[in-house]
Structure 1
Amino acid sequence: MKNFRRMGLMALAAVFVFTAAFSSFAAPKKYVLKFNHVLAESEPFHQGFLNWAKRVNQRTKGGLEIQVFHSAQLGVEEDIIEQLKMGANVGQNTDSARLGMYVPEIAVMNAPYFVDSIEAVMKLNNLPSIKKWEKELADKHGIKILSFNWVQGLRHMVTNKPIRTPGDLKGLRIRTPGAPIWQESIRSLGAAPVAMPFGEVYVGMQQGAVDGADLVYRNVTGAKLYEAAKYMSETKHILLINFEVVGKRFFDSLPASYQKILVQECSKAGLETSRVMEKEVVEIKKDLAKRGMTIVEDVDVAAFKKAGEAAYKALNLTKVRDQVYKEMGKKN
C-alpha cells in the first residue's frame, strides 16, 4: 500500500514537472510596446508606425506587439518620455529639440538649415558625435533611440501674410514647440516664438492667439490648417528629423533577437515613410492651392539662413555643428 502511494506521488510530481516545462515551452513571454505620437491618424507617419508594428509582430511570431496610438492618445510628449525613462513599456515619436533637454548637443539636429535632405540624414547615422549623444541619452537618462530615419520634410511658415524675408516675420507670433532650439530658431528668423501643442494650432490661429506656425506640408493638410491660414511660405528653415524612442530599461528587458528586429524594422519603415512624404509634396501643394492657399516660393532663403546663425550662437551650438559637418565631410 505504501509503495503504491509512493508511486502515485512520484507520478503526480512527474506530471507537475512535465506540465510546467511544457507550459514554459508553449507559452513564451509576450512583450507589448505602447507607442504614442501626436499626429493625426491620416498622416503617413501613422501608417508607417503601423507597418513597423506589423513587421515586428511577424518576425517575432507575436512575441513583441507594438500598439500604435495617434493624436497623443496616451498623453503629451513630455509626459510619455518621462514615463519611458522610468521603465514603462511606452514609446514616443519625438525630435532632437526635446532630446536636447537631456543632451544639449543633439539639439543641433533641429537647428536652422542644419541639413536639407534624407541622404544627409542617412549619413548622420554613423557619425561618432551622434553615436556619443545616443549613448549618453541611454546611459545617463534612460532614453533609447531606435531610429531617426523618420524625416517629415522641410518646415515652412504658415501664416496669413506672405513671408519672403526675415523682416516679414517681425511682430508675428509663430507657434513652435517649447524646447530651447525651437524657440531660438524662430526668434533668430525674426518672429516671436509661442510654445503651443500641435493640436491647438488650428484654434490658436482662428482665435488670434498666434499669427502662424512653422510646419511641414503634410501637417497643414492633416490638421486642415488651410482653413485658418492663407499662405505657405517656403522658408525651408528646418528639415524635421523625428526620433523614435523607448526606455532603455524596457529595451534591455527584451530578448537580444527582439532588440535587433525592433531597431531594424523601425529604421526600414522610417526610410520608406520619409520617401513617401518627400514624393507627395508636389501633389499636396496642388491640393492646397485648390483649397485657396497661396504657396510663396520666391523666398530669400539665403537671408533666412544667415539670420538662423543667431540660434547656433545663442545655444552655443556653432562648434557642435562644425564638428558634425567635419565628420560628414560637409562644408558650412
Structure 2
Amino acid sequence: MTIAKTILKSGLALCAGLALFAALPAEAQQKFNLKFNHVLGPKEPFHDGFLAWSKAVEARTNGGLKIDVFHSSQLGKEEDIIEQIRQGANLGQNTDSARMGNYVPGIAVMNGPYFVETLEDVAKLRKAPTVIKWQDELASKHGLKVVSFSWVQGYRHFFTNKPVKTPDDLKGLRIRTPPAPIWQESIRALGATPVAMGFGDMYPGLQQRAIDGVELVYNNIPGGRFYEVLKFANETRHIMLINFEVVSAKWFDGLPKDYQTALLEEADKAGEATSKEIFRLEAEVEQQLKGRGMTIVEDVNLDAFRKAGEKAYEVLNILEAKKAVHKEIGK
C-alpha cells in the first residue's frame, strides 16, 4: 500500500470516528454536576425556586448538567462553602453582596440600607457598568462567578419585643445580623447594636436573651417559628434583600458554552419568578403572624430610617460607589 493510500485510509477512519462521537446520545457524553447549598429550610420559597432552576437546567442540557440542591446548610457553613468554591470545587452557594463585599468592597452597596426598593431597580442593576465590573473582578481575582442576582428575598424588617417606629426606638437593642461589614454597619447606623450570629442560632439566642431581636424578611419568620419568641414585626423595609448565586469561576469556565448559557439564563428566569412569588406571599405571611399573636407596626418613619442609613455607606467608604450605580440605573 502506498503512503498516499495509507494516509487516505487513516483520514477516512478518523472522520468516521468523529461522526460516531457526534452521534453519541447525551448520556454517553461528558456530564457535569453542581452541588448547590443554601441556609434556608425546605419550606422556604427559595428552595422551591432552586429546584425549579435545577430542573430547567437539566432539561435544557439533556441531563448533561445536573444541579443537586441542599437546604439548611447541609453541605456546611456558608463562609466555608465560599472558600471551597474559590478553590475550584463543583459547589454553589446562595449568598449576598454583603459577603461578596469581603472580596470586592464596592459590591456590598447592593445590600446597603435602602439601596434599591423595587424589583425593577434590581433588573436595571444587571446592565450597570459598575456592577458588571465588580462581577468581573470577583471572577478574575477571587474565583467567584456570580451566576445570578435576580433572587430577591423581600424586604428586611426588624422583629422585636417592642414597637419600633424610629431609629431612636432601636437604641440599646441587640439585633442579630450576619457578620459581613455592610450588615453590621447598616444595623448600627439604623440605631441598634449588631450581633453576629448564625442563622440556626437565632431562636435559642432569643430564648436565652442573648439578642433582643432579629432583622429578617417576612418569609423567614414562620419557618423559624420566631413568632413564638417575638411580638412585633416593624416594617422598616431597610434592606431589599438581593441574593447572589455563586459558583467557582474555574469550574464554570470548564463547562461547555451552551451549558454556561443555560446555567445563567435559567438562574435569572427562576430568580425573577421566585422573587415575584415571595412578594405575593408576604401579605399572606403577615396575616399568619397576626393570627399567631404578632403585632404589625406599619406607621414607621421611613424617611428617618433612610437618612440614618446613609452613615453605613460613609463609614465603609462606599458612598461614591452607591452614587455611581444609582446614576447608571437612573435612581
TM range (shorter): over 0.9
Shift of 1:329: 1.5
Matched ranges for 1:45-84 at <5 A: 45-84=46-85
1:52 and 1:193 mapped to 2: Cα distance? 34
Shift of 1:24: 9.6
In the alignment of these two chains, the number of paired residues is 315
Distance 1:45 1:103, change over 3 A: same
The reply on whether 1:281 has 2:286 as its aligned counterpart is no
The reply on whether 1:190 has 2:191 as its aligned counterpart is yes
Equivalence for 2:29: 28
Equivalence for 1:270: 271
Shift of 1:221: 1.3
Equivalence for 2:311: 310
Task: Specify the code of the residue in structure 2 equivalent to 1:208.
Answer: R
Shift of 1:199: 1.3
2:217 and 2:71 mapped to 1: Cα distance? 18
Task: Specify the code of the residue in structure 1 equivalent to 2:159.
Answer: V
CA displacement 1:166-195 (0-9 Å, x = unmatched) = 111111100000000000000001111000
Task: Specify the code of the residue in structure 2 equivalent to 1:237.
Answer: H
Shift of 1:200: 1.1
2:22 and 2:148 mapped to 1: Cα distance? 35
The reply on whether 1:152 has 2:145 as its aligned counterpart is no
Shift of 1:325: 1.0
1:274 and 1:23 mapped to 2: Cα distance? 40
Task: Name the Cα RMSD after superposition.
Answer: 1.7
CA displacement 1:184-214 (0-9 Å, x = unmatched) = 0000011110000111111111111100010
The reply on whether 1:246 has 2:247 as its aligned counterpart is yes
Shift of 1:25: 3.3
State the percentage of identical aligned residues: 59
2:75 and 2:110 mapped to 1: Cα distance? 26
1:205 and 1:317 mapped to 2: Cα distance? 32
CA displacement 1:36-75 (0-9 Å, x = unmatched) = 0000000000000000000101111111000000000000
Equivalence for 1:172: 173
TM-score of the aligned structures, taking structure 1 as reference length: 0.92
Distance 1:61 1:165, change over 3 A: same
Distance 1:167 1:260, change over 3 A: same
Secondary structure of residue in 1 paired with 2:219:
helix
Task: Specify the code of the residue in structure 2 equivalent to 1:162.
Answer: P
Secondary structure of residue in 2 paired with 1:163:
coil
Shift of 1:22: 6.2
Shift of 1:130: 0.3
The reply on whether 1:203 has 2:212 as its aligned counterpart is no
2:177 and 2:262 mapped to 1: Cα distance? 34
1:228 and 1:61 mapped to 2: Cα distance? 47
The reply on whether 1:222 has 2:223 as its aligned counterpart is yes
Equivalence for 1:123: 124
1:22 and 1:187 mapped to 2: Cα distance? 60
- Write out the 4+ residue segments of structure 1 that deviate beyond 3 Å after TM superposition: 21-26
Secondary structure of residue in 2 paired with 1:71:
coil
Equivalence for 2:42: 41
Which shifted more, 21-30 or 246-255? 21-30
CA displacement 1:225-277 (0-9 Å, x = unmatched) = 11110010001100000000000011011100000000000000000000000
Gaps of 5+ in 2: 1-12
Secondary structure of residue in 1 paired with 2:299:
coil
The reply on whether 1:85 has 2:86 as its aligned counterpart is yes
